[in-house]
Amino acid sequence: MNESLSLAEALANFHFLRPLWLLALLPAIWLLRNLWRHNESGSAWHKAIDPELLPYILDRSRSKAQRLPLVLLACVWMLATLALAGPTWTQVQYPAQQRQDALVVVLDQSVGMFATDIEPNRQTAARRKLTDLLEQRREGQTALIVYSAQAHMVSPLTEDTAPIKNMVPALSPNIMPAFGNNAAHGIEMALELLRDSGRDRGRILLLSGGMPADQPGAIRQLLEDSRYPLSIIGIGTEAGAPIPASEGDFLRDDRGNMVIPELGRSALQNLASDGGGRYHDLTVNSNDLDFVLADSLLGGEGDYMESLQEFDVWADAGPWLVLLLLPLGALIFRRGWLLGMVLGSSLFVTMLVPSGPAHAQDLRSIWQTRDQQGARAFEEDDHERAANLFQSPAWRGTAHYRAGNYEAAIQDFAAQGQSPDALYNMGTAMAHAGLYEEAIAVYDAVLEMDPEHSDARHNKEILEQLLQDQEQEQQQEQDTEDGDESADPDQQQDDESEQDPDEEEGQDEQEMDQDTEESDQDQESQEQQADEDGSQDQQQDISIEEEEDQESLEQWLRRIDDDPGELLQRKFQFEYRRRQIEARAAGQQL
């Protein structure tokens, strides 16, 4: 909070937290107007006595005294309304509490998720449900793990679900390095994640389209000594459905039989019951999430803790206006019941309105981090505002990149360290900023750490080809200029050789040259005008060439990939290869 807030800044920041309360002034105006008119013409003497005689008969001071309650009523009403509207002009630091709840979502990414027993298929329904879940998670920490033949972590435990939500559309069984249905490995990774976090409270949610018969037993063994409950949402039907393949056919096994993945509801229900959680079929609404993630399953006390993060919130100055109403309370004993009723009710209602600080534009931002606010702005394609809100260098750099601020994006990506993904993003930003040679050097560093980084190799080849084309164009232009320069001396030499005999003969014809001097000057002026016209045409041709070069450059840069699905696929493939190498070294097989 700025203690030395100037008057100009206070006036610039002045606004109302609850401006709709100002509408309460409209009935006050109507009521006071009617009461004032009634006071003016309310006496019977006004109808019986000539108006010119009224000033000499009636006591005007008494009439003015009768209007005083109306003036006081107007003041009370206005102050109470302004207090209810919540005037504010400064911000304060407001601490918040956060929930000590950790949730690890384990998502099935086996080929069976392409089954069409749920429209349009299980995979699409699972991604929608996962998005709904992430939107509901406003407190606590959330992590996401996907599995097929092996499990892979999409995101560790984090309070900011916006980055996870942005990755959901890229999830697909097609990006998994190997096909399978190893749900036990996903649960094992979730348990390790919860144990390593050191949290006493946590739970696992499995989004499954069914699993092989050997998986429930393996999962039960993992959950024997676990204090983290396992809940399951089943995605699919008992009958199942075939998996569409290419050319209108369906997926078949080695024997040519059609593969129809079934849900196996009873097995999933028993597994959730044995794991201390709940089971529910996938629903269109939020009934399934409300059931399996009910707060009553957490149990115990002390689920909330003081957050280390504070929020800048607007301080409500409305309660201070109530102090101005207190002196008017003494008039209750002398004035009529109307004033007392209005004053008492105004004080009562004002006290009922929460006087705590609140945001002026979006009260929900009190419960959101700056990264969450930035994610909302990013989803709304307001990348400039998102870049100003993000605190995470990765997301801030992405927002700058989307906004076209490539220099700022390079700095943010460079602050992430020397990981392959960070360097790849930095190289892509350099390419769009026109730093082609620097981008190639960064891509080389990425390929040294990950030789199979196909996107880095692809982008590097594009930039190398672009530089090669530019060098060829520059070489052609240089050759053309050199040819023109070399042509001038030759032409001059030819002119001199031609002028030698002419000079011998011209000595006898000097008088004739003097006669034709004026005609030569006219010809030179015409040639000069033609040169100026030619230079203008040449400049116009150069501008057209520059536009064509810019369009060509943009076409080159559009070929540079930055798909998040590709990033996840490379990450999963890298983990898969690393595990295979470790398994061979240990003489084991995953």
**Helix axis angle, 436-449 to 420-432, nearest 10°:** 160
203 with 275, same domain?
A: yes
Q: Does 362 score more than 80 pLDDT?
A: no
182 with 33, same domain?
A: no
Structure tokens at 64: 């003015």
270 with 315, same domain?
A: no
End-of-domain residue from the set 352, 382, 412: 352
End-of-domain residue from the set 301, 322, 344: 301
- Kindly state whether residue 435 falls inside one of the protein's structural domains: no
- Kindly state whether residue 12 falls inside one of the protein's structural domains: yes
pLDDT, tens only, 470-515: 787 777 777 776 665 555 554 444 444 444 444 444 444 444 444 4
Burial 129-160 (b: 16+ CB within 10 A, else e): bbeebbeebebbbbbbbbbbbbbbbbbebebb
From 219, 199, 224, 192, select the one nearest 208 (Cα to Cα): 219
- Kindly state whether residue 15 falls inside one of the protein's structural domains: yes
Answer with the residue of higher pLDDT: 356 or 322. Answer: 322
Measured over the CA atoms of residue 539, residue 541, residue 542 and residue 547, the dihedral's sign is positive
Q: What's the rounded mean pLDDT across residues 204-222?
A: 95
pLDDT value for 43: 53
- Least confident range from 100-114, 119-133, 555-569: namely 555-569
201 with 316, same domain?
A: no
**How many structural domains comprise the chain?**
2
75 with 170, same domain?
A: no
**68-77, 163-172, 349-358: range with highest mean pLDDT:** 163-172
CA atoms of 322 and 5, how far apart (whole Å): 24
Contact between residue 432 and residue 459 where contact means Cβ atoms under 8 Å apart: no
Q: What's the rounded mean pLDDT across residues 67-88?
A: 79
Q: Does 584 score more than 50 pLDDT?
A: yes
Q: What is the CATH number of the domain that holds 120?
A: 3.40.50.410
CA atoms of 397 and 427, how far apart (whole Å): 12
Q: What's the rounded mean pLDDT across residues 262-286?
A: 94
User: Strand (E) positions, 230-381?
Assistant: 230-234, 276-281, 304-314
64 with 132, same domain?
A: no
CA atoms of 202 and 191, how far apart (whole Å): 9
Answer with the residue of higher pLDDT: 135 or 69. Answer: 135
24 with 152, same domain?
A: no
- Kindly state whether residue 212 falls inside one of the protein's structural domains: yes
CA atoms of 184 and 489, how far apart (whole Å): 84
CA atoms of 378 and 383, how far apart (whole Å): 5
pLDDT value for 308: 45
Structure tokens at 555: 């076409």
- List the domain range (segments joined by +) for residue 14: 7-93+311-352
- Least confident range from 179-183, 219-223, 368-372, 401-405: namely 368-372
CA 588 to chain centre: 43
Omega within 30 of 0 (cis) for the link into 242:
no
Q: Does 293 score more than 80 pLDDT?
A: yes
End-of-domain residue from the set 320, 352, 384: 352
SS3 225: coil
Answer with the residue of higher pLDDT: 385 or 590. Answer: 385
Instruction: Report in angstroms the alpha-carbon separations of 94 from 99, 119, 122, 306, 307.
Output: 17, 46, 43, 11, 10
62 with 171, same domain?
A: no
Instruction: Report in angstroms the alpha-carbon separations of 132 from 49, 171, 188, 216, 289.
Output: 77, 15, 25, 27, 9
- pLDDT exceeding 90 applies to what percent of the chain? 24
What DSSP character marks residue 589? -
> What is the value of pTM for the model shown?
0.49
Answer with the residue of higher pLDDT: 480 or 290. Answer: 290
CA atoms of 228 and 253, how far apart (whole Å): 37
- Kindly state whether residue 503 falls inside one of the protein's structural domains: no
223 with 172, same domain?
A: yes
43 with 127, same domain?
A: no
